[in-house]
């Protein structure tokens, strides 16, 4: 007798012919299903990787655009502020030219020792303080102011205050609107 030297505790059973055909089809179906599952899994993994890469790209683009918008908003705010300041400076320069002629005329009427202060109030009226050693020295100054009023160089001159101190120094505060 021949001895079988293999140790196989599970003996092979014989499958009847109709079942063997069914088992063969089942094995083919299983291999086909497993192949389809692997292919679909690879496709889903590839789509996920592409979508994840696209999401990362879009997120970085969004962050970059946000930082650009923020930088441009700051630059625009600075530009608007600069434009507004430019308009204000232009008005100041324009007013300075006009006020310069008024100030020079006032220094002609009352030279600097007599013209102690001059200011422009909120209503664009000139407030001038004139101080002379005697009351008689004040008359030519008042005559010049009246002449400028008649020549329409100044409008609505008003004496705000007039006083003489103990030493005889006359002090006159006059308000008028210059014709610029």
Cβ neighbours, 10 Å, residue 80: 10
Parse the chain into domains and list their residue ranges: 16-109, 110-178
More confident residue, 9 or 44: 44
**Percentage helix, strand, coil, to 5, in the chain?**
60, 20, 25
| pTM for the predicted model, two decimal places | 0.48
Contact predicate 180/98, CB 8 Å: yes
28-85 confidence digits (pLDDT tens): 999 999 999 999 999 999 999 999 999 999 999 999 999 999 999 999 999 999 999 9
117-130 confidence digits (pLDDT tens): 998 887 888 999 99
| 106 closest CA partner among 158, 144, 138 | 144
The class level of CATH for 110-178 reads alpha beta
């Amino acid at each position: 007798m021949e001895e079988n030297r293999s140790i196989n505790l599970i003996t092979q059973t014989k499958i009847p012919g109709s079942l063997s055909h069914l088992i063969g089809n089942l094995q083919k179906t299983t291999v086909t299903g497993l192949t389809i599952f692997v292919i679909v899994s690879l496709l889903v993994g590839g789509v996920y990787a592409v979508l994840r890469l696209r999401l990362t790209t879009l997120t970085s683009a969004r962050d970059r655009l946000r930082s650009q918008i923020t930088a441009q908003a700051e630059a625009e705010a600075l530009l608007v502020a600069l434009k507004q300041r430019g308009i204000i400076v232009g008005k100041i320069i324009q007013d300075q030219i006009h006020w310069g002629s008024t100030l020079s005329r006032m220094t002609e009427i009352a030279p600097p020792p007599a013209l102690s202060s001059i200011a422009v109030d909120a209503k664009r009226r000139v407030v001038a303080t004139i101080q002379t050693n005697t009351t008689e020295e004040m008359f030519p100054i008042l005559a010049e102011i009246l002449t400028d009023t008649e020549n329409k160089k100044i409008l609505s001159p008003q004496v705000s205050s007039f006083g003489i101190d103990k030493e005889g120094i006359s002090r006159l505060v006059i308000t008028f609107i210059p014709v610029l």
